[in-house]
Amino acid sequence: MKTYRALALAACALALVVAAVAGRTASAATAAHPLLVGQDGPGFTITLKKSGTKVTKLKPGVYTLRVLDKSSIHNFHISGPGVNKTTSVAKVYTVTWTVTLKKGTYTFVCDPHKEIMRGSFKVA
């Protein structure tokens, strides 16, 4: 009976260690990617920033893109080589995507107002 308890206790301890390591690995992987922040609304504005600065040029690589969709009449749609992501027009919410940016030109627009709400940047 003591052997069974000792084995059960060891298994529980091992499971906790594995869960803790897995959680740190997932957090570290997400944190390792540079953060881009896109925003549409609340007025007729759309932006993409990195560290608070407007994005005009980026290096190729994997990025975390957090989109703050602040209006139920706008969306955030980013497209370019290998990327085509969009938020819903009807929702006000925040979404986070992992995107791999390759060399080329990317655009971000509000689809219903793409004539006045748009931006672009280059990856080189």
pLDDT along the chain (124 residues), means of 10: 49 40 44 93 97 98 98 97 96 97 98 98 98
| Residue 103 Ramachandran class (φ > 0 left, ψ -120 to 50 alpha, else beta) | beta
Return the pLDDT at 5. 54
| pLDDT tens string 67-102 | 999 999 999 999 999 999 999 999 999 999 999 999
β-sheet with 77-80: strand ranges across: 57-58, 118-123, 104-109, 77-80, 83-86
**What is the assigned CATH class of domain 33-123?**
mainly beta
The pLDDT value recorded for residue 31 is 61
DSSP letter assigned to residue 32: T
The pLDDT of residue 2: 58
Distances (CA, A) of 81 to 31, 67, 100, 101, 123: 24, 19, 9, 7, 10
Coil, helix or strand at residue 23: helix
User: Can you give the residue ranges of every domain in the chain?
Assistant: 1-32, 33-123
